[in-house]
Structure 1
Amino acid sequence: MTKQTATKLHYDIVGSFLRPSELKRSREDFAAGKIDHSELTAVEDDAIRDLVAKEIDAGLKIVTDGEFRRSYWHLDTFWGFAGIKHTQPEHGYFFHDEETRADSAQVIGKISFDPEHHDLKAFQFLHDLVADHDGITARQSIPAPAQFYSELLRGEENVAAVNKFYPDQDELISDIGQAYHDLILALYDEGCRDVKIDDCTWGMVVDHDFWEHQTNGEYDLNELQDIYLKLNNTALRDLPEDLRVSTHVCRGNYHSTWAAKGGYVPVASHLLAQEKVDAFYLEFDDDRSGDFAPLAEVPDGKQVVLGLVTSKKPELESKQTLAERIKEAAEFVLLENLSLSTQCGFASTEEGNKLTEQQEWAKIRLVIETAQEVWGE
């Protein structure tokens, strides 16, 4: 697959899917000690086989494993690096009207890539599933290096742990970047040609209220952006030419609620103009996301995937309205460089959003049909 295959289709997905009821029960049984890890893995394998078949049948050319082996879209990946442990702080993440489960990642030593990282093993299974399907590409989504950094500094205990092992912030940035770079190259060696970097940091930094709460008002917007950009671009340096790297910017997606608000204007000159990715997957499903004007910062030739169809609600958007909004975005990015998707996945955590699997697939059909009508393919 070349870097352009995904966007020539002009329709795509973000990647996570609602967990089947049997998979949810099995995860609960595993947590309760009723089944062992091999039994859980067998259930995960069956659920992923079924999902991939459904994705292909729906007409998707880029498929994922639905993140069925994860509890969280981000923490599971962090826990797979050397020098990191799974912790349970007093509080989870605070969303608009809900608090999540309380889990985090904390430094316990120097950070590095672990060749036994579970994301690598998960991709190997997905890749083997589609190896004999012409025209089908297996995508691996991983949370951004900036997201990892942000998590390691969430709360006083995490900050103290970072300061113990990394009194020099430049060394922390370097080690995070190297660990990610090694993970991406290991995925590439297993046949991965499409990596998506999921990143809430940019979606949070635009929300003044969020950061007032997060840092007690003590933060510098430009300094944060410089750090996030350096973290991500350090990981993305010197990658193979035939590896398509994209990023998805999110404002929080938990049980159909959200964590932050604000348009892309404050981060456009960093994120959109300078991040070393081939494509941007951007949320534009409601007023919290702002308008399309910041897209003018996207360099010529890069792709923008418009997240106009919400994954948070079951109601279907109007095709006409979607087409009109795509036309508006084309004032800033060439139509040929635009695509359509849902604004986020359907289950960033195993809880999932508040809609049914039938409604989930109706959303995907809407994305595909609208794209085919707009781009005539």
Structure 2
Amino acid sequence: MEPSAQHAYAPAVSFDGGDLDCGNGLLLLIRKHIDPLERGQLLEIQSTETSVEADLPAWCRMTGNQLVSWTKAGKRRSFLVSKGAFAGSADHADQPPQAEPEPETPEAARARAAIPIVAVTIPRTLPAPVAAPPIRPLSVMGIGSWPRPRWMLQALHDHMEGRLDEAAFQSSADDAVQLAVAAQQRAGVDVVTDGEQRRDSYASFVGGRLDNCQLIPLTDLLPYVDDPEAFEQELRALDVPAGEVRHPAVFGPLGRSRPLAAHELDYVRGLTAQPVKVALPGPYLLTRTMWMECVSDRAYASREALAADVVRVLREELAALLAQGAALVQFDEPVLSEVAFSGTTSQRSFMCGALSEKRDPVTELAFARDLLNAVVDGFPQERVAMHMCRGNWTTDESKAMAGDYRPLVETLAALNVGTLFLELYTPRAGEMAVLQRLPERQRIGVGLCNQKHAHVESLEEVLRKGEEAIRLFGAGRVLFNPDCGFATFADAPVSSARIAEAKLRTLAEAAAILRQRYGV
């Protein structure tokens, strides 16, 4: 598109990006201003950076937005972008074009375009855990997520894009949590979760809660990879809804001035006296997800420096959850399978947008082990857990990774957590016997159903798999769960609520039989 003499339409919102380029913060500013707009409304982006002429049209094509027009006067450029497709109307045309702003010095433009850094308050002491209902052997529970009602999905999108205020969003979420908890209770679970109803996904939601972190669609990150078009094709092949899945981007020192999930726990504990489990993204997952050169390195000199702050905020959250009576806090680390099964090759797998580079598997697994152990250090091991799987963004088993736990057993055994929730029902996970090398101090949450399958597993099959686990580990160490969550990504659930409830009911029936059979 050639530049116009002036824009034919007036924007709803305008901002000056100064000399920032798309790989150095401009996209974060665009996302901040375009999200609250209605579809078809116009955003004006002013810039003095030459590369934006080529990069912004490419970003528009990849994100489904439309570059309506652009102007150029000396070094200053003005781009008019529609959120989604734009159909010009008389209403817009009647508005006079905006006057060209007075020229600014480069220093003033950069200062005005800079993303503000939020002051971070670090608590001096962490609260102590309080007692919680015990989790008995052979307890049944979900991994975490539950399919959201359609109206809850709309509320999630409206809230993230600034069209629904906090109070209205939380009210909708409260209703959705009540439905999720009631379904679990009807199924007969022993431990409940809130179904992660307030989250856009099990991990990236922290981008909307942490200080100096912003949730942006995965497509916005395409300019940061070496070959955007190839990466976009990979995401399509992996069946990833890249325009809907959001990714946390760090643009300043991380802080936790509000809880990540403590408010979720507070509400669900008011609904039940049963033990409650809360899932959090693990420190390795968050570090791999958040560390992106040209974005994160504006705030952190290295991935390790970012990881130190990730550990700090997770320790603060863990302390708060245990102090509020969480029976179990589970840290999700699915990217461990990406490390173990993709090796040292450049193969990319979509493990919740873990786009950053990784080193050799031995180094990465040691890094992941040390990060999680740093988070849980000093907390009661029986109240902390870790979950991993091989991918849960699609029902197509061929798109997820495969491999038994052999290359991971040493790392799992060295984690200072009392429970490991593991994917074990799918054949992709290999033989359960590999896990006999795990220490006696660790309980094993055994995957006894495949959440990706629409059919409900037979009671006989679940009993057979459950008895195998009891023979290998002893009834006192075994818990029962699905392989993964039923709706890891809000917009891409792998099960319906009806199927999820039926699967958990079968697990609960099997657990009742096995408790009687083994006297636990």
Instruction: Please give the TM-score of this superposition, normalised by the length of structure 2.
Output: 0.64
Alignment of 1:153-164 (within 5 A): 153=291, 158-164=292-298
2:425 matches 1:285: yes
Alignment of 1:176-191 (within 5 A): 176-191=310-325
The one-letter code matched in structure 1 to 2:425 is D
The 3 A distance-change label for structure 1 pair 10 and 216 is closer
2:389 matches 1:250: yes
What is residue 213 of structure 1 aligned with on the other side?
A: 347
Query: Alignment length, in residue pairs?
Result: 366
Single out whichever of 117-126 and 211-220 deviates more from structure 2.
211-220
Distance 1:210 1:29 in 2: 40
Alignment of 1:93-242 (within 5 A): 94=235, 97-102=238-243, 103-112=246-255, 114-130=256-272, 133=273, 136-153=274-291, 158-208=292-342, 212-214=346-348, 219-239=359-379, 241=380
What is residue 105 of structure 2 aligned with on the other side?
A: none
Kept after mapping to 2: 8 A contact 1:95/1:259 = no
What is residue 146 of structure 2 aligned with on the other side?
A: 17
The one-letter code matched in structure 2 to 1:13 is G
What is residue 76 of structure 2 aligned with on the other side?
A: none
Deviation, 1:211, is 5.3
**Percent of aligned pairs with the same amino acid:** 21
The 3 A distance-change label for structure 1 pair 85 and 300 is same
Deviation, 1:14, is 0.8
Deviation, 1:201, is 1.6
The one-letter code matched in structure 2 to 1:280 is L
The one-letter code matched in structure 2 to 1:104 is H
Deviation, 1:220, is 0.8
**SS state of the match for residue 215, structure 2?**
strand
Higher helix share: 1
Distance 2:161 2:359 in 1: 42
What is residue 89 of structure 1 aligned with on the other side?
A: 221
**SS state of the match for residue 83, structure 1?**
strand
Deviation, 1:144, is 0.5
Distance 1:182 1:344 in 2: 26
* Runs of 5+ consecutive residues of structure 1 not aligned to the other structure: none
**SS state of the match for residue 309, structure 1?**
coil
The 3 A distance-change label for structure 1 pair 29 and 223 is closer
Kept after mapping to 1: 8 A contact 2:139/2:189 = no
1:83-141 CA deviation, whole Å, 9 max, x = no partner?
Answer: 322233226884864023353222222223x13134222222222333xx3xx122211
Single out whichever of 179-188 and 169-178 deviates more from structure 2.
169-178
Deviation, 1:79, is 3.7
The one-letter code matched in structure 1 to 2:406 is V
Distance 2:185 2:149 in 1: 18
Kept after mapping to 1: 8 A contact 2:311/2:374 = yes
Kept after mapping to 2: 8 A contact 1:314/1:360 = no
Distance 2:450 2:235 in 1: 21
Counterpart of 1:332 (choices 441, 455, 472) is: 472
Deviation, 1:176, is 1.7
Single out whichever of 57-66 and 279-288 deviates more from structure 2.
57-66
Deviation, 1:343, is 0.6
Distance 2:469 2:275 in 1: 27
1:285-316 CA deviation, whole Å, 9 max, x = no partner?
Answer: 22211111331221113210111201111212
Larger Rg: 2
What stretches of structure 1 move > 4 A for 4+ residues in a row?
1-4, 28-35, 215-218
The 3 A distance-change label for structure 1 pair 110 and 122 is same
Distance 2:439 2:453 in 1: 32
The one-letter code matched in structure 1 to 2:252 is G
Distance 2:169 2:417 in 1: 35
Kept after mapping to 2: 8 A contact 1:309/1:363 = yes
Deviation, 1:39, is 2.2
What is residue 263 of structure 1 aligned with on the other side?
A: 404
What is residue 42 of structure 1 aligned with on the other side?
A: 171
Kept after mapping to 1: 8 A contact 2:207/2:247 = no
* Runs of 5+ consecutive residues of structure 2 not aligned to the other structure: 1-129, 223-230, 349-354
**SS state of the match for residue 361, structure 1?**
helix
Instruction: Please give the TM-score of this superposition, normalised by the length of structure 1.
Output: 0.87
Distance 2:139 2:463 in 1: 13
Whose RCO is larger (CA < 8 A, sep 6+)? 1
The 3 A distance-change label for structure 1 pair 219 and 168 is closer
Distance 2:204 2:339 in 1: 20
**SS state of the match for residue 487, structure 2?**
coil
What is residue 371 of structure 1 aligned with on the other side?
A: 511
